[in-house]
Structures are given as C-alpha cells and as structure tokens.
C-alpha cells in the first residue's frame, strides 16, 4: 500500500479562478486545470524569486516534489498560452497556511495545527 500523499502548504487561494483569451466565450474554449499548489510554486519561484530549496521548505515538500510541481505548472501555462486555452485554477492536494493556527483544507474541512502535547494514546486509553 503506497504512503498517503502529504498536503502541500500554500499561502493563499486566489479570488480569480479563470483566465482566458479575450474576445472568445468561455464556453467555446478548452480548459486546462492549474492546481492551487502549482500556482503557489509559480508564485514562489518566478514572482518572489526564491531558490528551489526555499520554495520547497515554504510548501513543506521535498525539492524533488517541488521540481515536479513547478515543471507541471509551467507546462500547463505554456500549453494554454500557445494553444489559446482557458486556465482554470482548481483542485489539488493542499492546505492553506494562515496567520492563526487554523488551516482550511481543500475539502473545506477545518483542522487545528497540532501542538505535540500529550502522550498520543488517544481518547479513553490508558
């Protein structure tokens, strides 16, 4: 059984969810889906100019995983621009890192960051 996928940490969810070529109806265009973590990788590397190691640390993933995510994002954006496709930002496997101690996950459930207190025995365990 494979290891469960670790959620990628992102710092924001964009308010704009679709980018498309001007003058063409959204319904006439093919869409390419850019995941939230792919957008975060583009922001960290290409806009903020961080090194690959710094980006991976901020997203709480390995350098190899970051490389896979950034390559996928760049390929999708280039494909959409070259072929005149719409880019829809949606989905992925991520958690939003906020200033307070609550994370909002992709499936709209809310969890609290663990503080590593207790003995890890669970409820009603001795």
pLDDT digits (tens, 9 = 90+) for 78-95: 999 999 999 999 988 888
Considering only 23-27, 46-50, 77-81, which range has the smallest mean pLDDT? 23-27
- Identify whether 126 is part of a domain: no
**Cα distances (Å, whole numbers) of residue 115 to 9, 80, 84, 102, 119:** 17, 42, 47, 12, 12
- What's the mean pLDDT in 91-100? 77
- Identify whether 119 is part of a domain: no
3-state SS, residue 82: helix
- Identify whether 125 is part of a domain: no
Reported as a pLDDT band with limits 50, 70 and 90, residue 122 is low
- What's the mean pLDDT in 75-80? 98
Q: CA–CA separation, 120 vs 125, rounded Å?
A: 10
* pLDDT of the residue at 54: 97
3-state SS, residue 98: coil
- Identify whether 24 is part of a domain: yes
Residue-range definition of the domain harbouring residue 87: 8-112
Reported as a pLDDT band with limits 50, 70 and 90, residue 109 is very low
- Identify whether 117 is part of a domain: no
- Identify whether 122 is part of a domain: no
To the question of pTM greater than 0.75 for the whole model, the response is: no
Task: Name the domain count of the chain.
Answer: 1
């Amino acid at each position: 059984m494979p290891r469960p996928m670790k959620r990628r940490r992102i710092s924001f969810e964009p308010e704009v969810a679709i980018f498309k070529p001007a003058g063409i109806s959204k319904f006439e265009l093919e869409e390419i889906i850019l995941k939230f973590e792919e957008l975060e990788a583009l922001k960290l590397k290409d806009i903020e100019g961080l090194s690959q190691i710094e980006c991976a640390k901020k997203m709480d993933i390995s350098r190899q995983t970051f490389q896979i995510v950034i390559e996928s994002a760049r390929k999708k954006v280039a494909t959409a621009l070259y072929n005149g496709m719409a880019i829809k930002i949606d989905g992925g496997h991520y958690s939003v890192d906020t200033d307070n101690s609550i994370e909002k996950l992709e499936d709209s459930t809310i969890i609290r960051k663990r503080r590593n207190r207790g003995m890890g025995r669970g409820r009603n365990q001795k």
